[in-house]
């Protein structure tokens, strides 16, 4: 099948098929008469695997390592588990950072609710942000002192 046929079967763009071909993930044969690349069923299965892995957050490099293991006849399952566990830990870390940001934004909205607008001065750009970072620093100091008591 041609590039656009494979792309259509997997509901992806032809550029996606070309990307993975260019990067060595797919090995289509080349028609000697017209130079067109011809993809086989194995390429379709491999590309479906790649798409599924990408949907789980695997990077192109992760997928290359997984495919290399599989191409050598080794199980890639241990590597896959290791990558997934690492990704989950990183996702959890990012989630906690996002929750902390959400809390700061909510605090800012509450803190700024009744504060007036002020024109900038030589030592102030926006008193809302500058005052907020000062109040956060005070809160951090207080909570660190409370934790050590």
Task: For residues 9 and 11, give the distance between their C-alpha atoms in angstroms, rounded to a whole number.
Answer: 6
Q: What confidence tens digit (pLDDT) does each residue in 65-100 have?
A: 999 999 999 999 999 999 999 999 999 999 999 999
pLDDT for res 34: 87
Phi-psi region of 28 (alpha: psi -120 to 50; beta: other; left: phi over 0): beta
Q: What confidence tens digit (pLDDT) does each residue in 3-55 have?
A: 999 999 999 999 999 999 999 999 999 988 888 899 999 999 999 999 999 99
Collapsed DSSP state (helix, strand, coil) of residue 58: coil
**Class for domain 3-82, per CATH?**
mainly alpha
Which residues, at least 6 apart from 17, have a Cβ–Cβ distance to it below 8 Å? 3, 6, 7, 26, 39, 47
pLDDT for res 149: 55
Domain with CATH 1.10.1660.10 in the chain: 3-82
Find the distance separating the first CA and the last CA of the chain, reported in whole Å.
Answer: 71
Phi, psi for 104 (deg, rounded to 5): -65, -40
Does this model's pTM top 0.75? My answer is no
DSSP 124: B
């Amino acid at each position: 099948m041609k590039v656009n046929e494979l792309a259509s079967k997997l509901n992806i763009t032809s550029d996606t098929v070309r990307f993975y071909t260019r990067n060595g993930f797919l090995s289509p044969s080349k028609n000697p008469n017209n130079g067109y690349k011809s993809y086989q069923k194995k390429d379709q299965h491999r590309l479906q695997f790649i798409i599924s892995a990408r949907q789980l957050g695997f990077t192109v490099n992760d997928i290359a390592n997984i495919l290399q293991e599989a191409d050598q006849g080794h199980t890639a399952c241990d590597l896959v588990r290791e990558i997934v566990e690492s990704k989950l830990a990183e996702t959890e870390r990012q989630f906690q950072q996002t929750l902390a940001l959400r809390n700061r934004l909510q605090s800012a909205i509450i803190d700024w609710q009744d504060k007036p607008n002020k024109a900038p001065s030589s030592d102030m750009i926006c008193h809302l942000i500058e005052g907020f970072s000062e109040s956060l620093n005070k809160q951090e100091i207080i909570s660190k002192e409370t934790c050590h008591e």
